[in-house]
Structure 1
């Protein structure tokens, strides 16, 4: 840049020349664990940059975190405070979102009084080339993509490792390249790339595609040194931002483009950071990280029961009710029926403890062996959820069978054979099948059940700052038969600060969600759900569900869903339609005037790639807008599912701030936190804004979830792991 002093230009030239020559010339004596058989612990670590995402301090690198890593980064460098969330769903992709609080700028007194301005942004980075002996790792990234664009940048960066040193060199556009050291190399293809035009982003949320890779560029780079003192890593970088053109007309003084810093790894999950940036400003920060793909908790489940001679338990006077108790306590099977069909013993129920069904079945085999007559040759497990038979697994009698096989339980309605493993079993109708079975045990279970639990809701990112609510929740259920039940959730607010929820954004759509402030403020004791639900098997591979009542906090009504889900198919199709009416703000029994029809056609696609599930919905939303929702999620081996969604509708400019609905979510097995196995899950989600466009009805149950056992998934891999 012409305004640079000769000293600054010399620093830049020498620093970038050093990084560039090392990237090109140095052979990677120490590339990566996979390529050189170097232990993982000896590979130079990666850290989150100030904004979040793997990098040095202010600049990104080409490196990626281990697959499944989730990181939260906090950093303070005046006048900015950054809160960054970063995810590594694949080896080749990093994604995240961040908040940047600008301490010397306000939202505006008419909006949020004296609260500091808070910018929201989405970042993404893709690995283009893996590091090899004579080639660097190369990545392409986008900062503040689809946000307000205040810090929007595009960059191409390369890294090369040499022993305990890691060198990076990159080219940045936008914020990362605001120094403008170089002309735009892409400008040779079109004149429009030579100048970066600041488009009006409105209130954010639009993809500013015309800005991508436009304008002058700057080089950036750095060196990371992993010291012999294992927890300590040192960093030095040259950045391409000049700080004279900061967003919101907020220039900052910069004495040097060189930043220096240190990282101290306190343990595997916590890293502390300190740096001297711009030649005049201190940075302090911390990062919390966890690998969602490998997280686990050692279990202290009861050992499988000892195996006696066939029928020994019955000879000792124990009945089938005792067998059902053992199936529940040791195998984690809530048993509805036990019956005999020729030389088969049939257990009908649902798994309620082990996420791995092979674990439940092999434990159950031992129990049933001790109760079954000597002429029983096989055990059949008919898995049922809310009255829907999903599948039937057939195992030979041996306590530790070597050759199990699964049949399509669906088989309950057709005469088709389904081959899996080493054998197939002809199917028959459910009614005829049960007529041939001799009942040994039948228990409807608890008619009424309840559960008391805490609840927590939060919202951050709006002009009102951080908002929270702590609830005491009472969940109840009353079963009418195998296919029908009443469910209810009562919530009492224990603690909240929603009296600070003042800002209500303008909306040109019906206020179907932006009344959230009134609901939260006026609800102390609320009926969050009170509905009756019924399920049915409609035909071979077809399932149905109907429901009516107070479906969620904001809406009451009635609706239904049908689903086509073939056994062990990668594709399922669901269709739901609902008539709903808006509820009163106190979340009691009253209703408001607004009513509408909503519904979706949804395709669920198991891609077969990295355990990724794709969901595509087309339909009508609560504000009567028409559109589509695209949802991708990945399930890791730990059972954790990480997903993101985006909804685009015909609301157009009427949508307002944010442009379209989007968010991320995380579903985690509860047994990751306890030493006892559990099939329970806890889910958290984040949406940057609550708007009316693209708003969906929050249905309590879905047929895809209720028919989850239709998929075999990793049964055979799990079976081999469980064998003792």
Structure 2
């Protein structure tokens, strides 16, 4: 029987309500998964459970069977919230290519509303394929409970494919929009599973599933994904290899065999948890006044040679720690140093090591230490400490020295500040390989390109930085091609035709091709210039930062970009504004430009929550002239891992935007030091998006102010304060 409209509305709001409640309530010791399902979620073979993963877990599951080849990327965004992005080849379904399969993208959300407690089971609510074409569309409520220490049972109620009632897929739908009107509709059926933990590595599972692996379209066509299972029972065996890997085999209906591999990483579980960096120099307690009367009296401060000698000694000691002493002001009782952190991903670790070195370099009368962090020549925050507290608390927990410190906005102009000799100008360069990988493309699958990149920067003076890069492709299968031919899916304009016909640089709907011709910038076997800029960073007041960047801003656009940010060091809230006047670069990525020119701009609001969460809202005009907003939510862990998701909606209609309906994606940034154990500020970052469309596109300008300053501000600084004594 179809649920009433009220019932469906209540069920549809269960998950959002649980997210709101759960964001403020910590879930202690959640029921953790024993194995992953073929959909990349804790579960049986195909059915879900109410289990979760360790908080922050990130990984991928690849599953192969007659019915589908699924690649799933999962992230445990909150202790109870599991998210999945999926790219799958679904056999037995035809599309415009008539190849007997389709390539499908989808996304899942699951929230564990309550955990197991006594006789109460863990309960979760989930949305499956709520942003895709709807091939896997279904919703569920499921409960899981430990029957014995080794046996765990789950029972749920499912809709859509989980009830064996696949949704009717709109043949003309562009995809990418939530199918809210279908949630918890169409009739429900029960499903269930039982798992047995044989030992600490092997887990066996049996399940009852309703999935008939069929797809129905609004044009009346119906496709069977392989042969319909002869039984509702599925069985699987999963084996854990080491800490991060799981291999499994399973049967569907007793007559189809599948296999899967899972790789799971956790930011809290690094290969080298303590790091491999050299231990810091110990704090040097001051001698008694009777043993050093001159040092305690402060008379040394009258000697004009004292500060240069002390500054040089401290600068050399900091350089050995990978830090730069940019400038310093010194009196008989107070010292302020301006620190450029070049080595540690956590700013408190650089501050703590600098504080130790100051106890070794400064005369005994200096009691107040002010350590000012800088970024691109801009002072971002000041931490004030008493030397006696550093001496007293060295061997205690970091929280005590945090309580004894004071964080304030750093002043741009400080009287008596002396720049360290040879700190500027400064030249840096690197030569290293690069790799670009494209995934989640429905037509190309996984693509790659590799080569070498030379990069250099020249810091002329504090805040004035010239940057450039030169890249040479070596090999890859990402070739140059024009955008798709309207009305002919899978067919593309040739590069020569696209360049010779300027009218093609606008879609039939009248939208300028600002990103849908991205492949025209690939496949160059001659050297290219990805970036060549001159940037000026400044701090006109204690809480205001500015940036102006000119040049070749990214591989597709050059011009002028200006930005201002208001962000007090002690506030979780910040506001910014950015304006860009850019012109489209020629496809050879050298010095020539094309005719398209546009002004873009946004006003932005930032807010930092606890547990490393950051929310950002950008409102303004995008590259194609469309107007709208972007919402970004990201989580950063104490060791530097960052995982985020964003969505952009503008005044372009779904038809004008094209497949996907609106822009969305996931960002991932992992510090190299997490994997190598060596201290480094370098990162491996990627933006996972299924499509490159024109709507909601922005200029990719390096040096965004918020990213430059937030590491030394309240929330981010104190999240990593545990490394102060490291």
1:365 aligns with 2:355: yes
Aligned with residue 434 of structure 1, among 415, 420, 429: 415
Residue 215 of structure 1, CA deviation? 0.8
Q: 2:223 aligns with which of 234, 242, 249?
A: 249
Taking the TM superposition and a 5 Å limit, the aligned residue runs for 1:100-119 are: 100-105=88-93, 107-109=95-97, 116-119=101-104
Alignment partner, residue 369 of structure 2: 379
Is residue 152 of structure 2 the alignment partner of residue 166 of structure 1? Answer: yes
Residue 258 of structure 1: how far off its partner (Å): 0.5
Q: Residue 614 of structure 1 aligns with which residue?
A: 615
Match of 1:323 in 2: 314
Question: How has the CA–CA distance of structure 1 residues 462 and 197 changed in structure 2, closer, same or farther, with 3 Å as cutoff?
Answer: closer
What residue number does 1:129 align with? Answer: 114
Q: Deviations over 1:576-622 (max 9, x none)?
A: 001111000010111000111111111011123x3210000001011
- 1:474 counterpart = 2:460: no
Specify whether residues 511 and 357 from structure 1 end up closer, same or farther in structure 2 by C-alpha distance, changes over 3 A only.
closer
Contact conserved, 1:144 with 1:151, CA < 8 A, in 2?
yes
Contact 1:456–1:468 (CA<8 Å) still a contact in 2? yes
Give yes or no for contact 1:74–1:285 (8 Å, CA) kept in 2: yes
- Cα distance, 1:434 vs structure 2: 2.1
1:427/1:551 Cα in 2 relative to 1: closer, same or farther (>3 Å)?
closer
- Supply the distance in 1 between the matched residues of 2:93 and 2:483 (Cα, whole angstroms): 18
SS of alignment partner, residue 275 of structure 2: coil
**Shift in CA distance, 628/720, structure 1 to aligned 2, threshold 3 Å:** closer
How does 1:565-714 map onto structure 2 within 5 Å? 565-608=567-610, 610-652=611-653, 653-713=655-715
1:457 corresponds to which of 424, 436, 441:
436
Q: Cα 1:543–1:133, aligned 2, differ >3 Å: closer, same or farther?
A: same
The match for 2:41 is 53
Q: What is the match of residue 266 of structure 1?
A: 241
> C-alpha distance in 2, partners of 1:503/1:49?
37
* Of 623-632 and 131-140, the range deviating more from structure 2: 131-140
Scaled by the length of structure 2, the TM-score of the pair is: 0.83
| TM-score when normalising by structure 1 | 0.83
Q: CA deviation at 1:325?
A: 1.7
Q: CA deviation at 1:233?
A: 0.9
Instruction: State the distance in 2 between where 1:425 and 1:102 align.
Output: 55
Work out whether 1:88 is the aligned partner of 2:76.
Answer: yes
RMSD between aligned residues: 3.0
Q: CA deviation at 1:714?
A: 6.2
Q: Distance in 2 between matches of 1:505 and 1:231?
A: 51
Residues 74 and 287, structure 1, Cα contact 8 Å, conserved in 2:
yes
In structure 2, the residue matched to 1:209 is: 180
Distance in 2 (alpha carbons) for counterparts of 1:75 and 1:206 = 26
Q: Give the whole-Å Cα distance in 2 for the aligned partners of 1:714 and 1:658.
A: 34
Deviation at 1:359? 2.9
Residue 412 of structure 1 is matched in structure 2 by: none
Measure how far apart 1:271 and its partner are.
Answer: 0.9
Of 285-294 and 707-716, the range deviating more from structure 2: 707-716
- In structure 2, the CA distance between the partners of 1:663 and 1:426, relative to structure 1 (3 Å rule), is closer
| TM-fit CA distance, 1:443 | 3.2
Alpha-carbon separation, structure 2, partners of 1:44 and 1:570: 32
CA contact (8 A) 1:69 1:291 kept: yes
Counterpart secondary structure, 1:282? strand
Aligned-pair distance for 1:62?
1.2
The equivalent position to 1:224 in structure 2, one of 175, 186, 195, is 195
Decide whether aligned partners of structure 1 residues 76 and 381 sit closer, same or farther in structure 2, where only a CA change above 3 A counts.
same
- Report the alpha carbon displacement of residue 243 of structure 1 after superposing the two structures with TM: 3.5
1:673 positional shift: 1.7
Residues 604 and 618, structure 2, Cα contact 8 Å, conserved in 1: yes
Alignment partner, residue 411 of structure 1: none
Q: Residue deviations 1:607-657, cap 9 Å, x none?
A: 23x321000000101111001000001112332111000000111120000
The answer to whether 1:151 aligns with 2:151 is no
Whether the 8 Å CA contact 1:115–1:465 is kept in 2: the answer is: no
Structure 1 position 568, deviation (Å): 1.3
Judging changes above 3 Å, is the alpha-carbon distance between structure 1 residues 650 and 244 closer, same or farther for their aligned structure 2 residues?
closer
Instruction: Tell me how far 1:102 sits from its aligned partner.
Output: 2.5
Q: Deviations over 1:318-370 (max 9, x none)?
A: 7642431211213x421112331342122222112223333333332333333
Instruction: Tell me whether 1:447 sits opposite 2:447 in the alignment.
Output: no
| Equivalent residue, structure 2, for 1:551 | 553
- Give CA-to-partner distance per residue, 1:431-457, whole Å, 9 cap, x none: 4x323x5x4843334532211222221
- When residues 334 and 140 of structure 1 are mapped into structure 2, their CA distance, relative to the original with a 3 A threshold, is same
378-387 or 576-585: which moved more? 378-387
1:381-429 CA-to-partner distances (Å, cap 9, x unmatched) read 122212211122222234934479xxxxxxxxxxxxxxx9557799996
Secondary structure of residue in 1 paired with 2:317: helix
- 1:499 aligns to what SS in structure 2? coil
TM superposition shift of 1:87 = 0.9
Q: Secondary structure at the match of 2:520?
A: helix
CA distance in structure 2 between the partners assigned to 1:537 and 1:96 by the alignment: 41
Note the residue ranges of structure 2 that are not aligned, 5 or more in a row.
2-26, 296-304, 395-401, 487-506
Q: 2:163 aligns with which of 177, 185, 193?
A: 177
- Contact kept, 8 Å, 2:639 with 2:720, in 1: the verdict is no
SS in structure 2 at match of 1:662:
strand
Distance 1:440 1:51, change over 3 A: closer
Structure 1 unaligned blocks of 5 or more = 2-32, 181-195, 405-419
CA distance in 2, matches of 1:717, 1:633: 15
Distance 1:592 1:66, change over 3 A: same
Q: 1:151: how far off? A: 1.4
In structure 2, what is the Cα distance between the partners aligned to 1:716 and 1:649? 36
Match of 1:304 in 2: 280
- Does the C-alpha gap of structure 1 residues 97 and 357 become closer, same or farther in structure 2, counting only changes over 3 Å? closer
Shift of 1:503: 6.5
Which residue number corresponds to residue 492 of structure 2?
Answer: none
8 Å CA contact retained: 1:475, 1:489: yes
Following superposition, the deviation at residue 236 of structure 1 comes to: 0.5
Contact preservation (8 Å) 2:412, 2:539: no
| Cα 1:423–1:238 shift into 2, 3 Å | closer
For residues 687-713 of structure 1, what are the alpha-carbon distances to aligned partners after superposition, in whole Å with 9 as ceiling and x for unaligned? Answer: 011111111110111111222255133
Find the aligned partners of 2:567 and 2:348 in 1 and give their Cα distance.
22
Whole-Å separation in 2 of the counterparts to 1:639 and 1:426: 23
Pair 1:74–1:501, CA change in 2 (3 A): farther
Matched, 1:69 2:57: yes
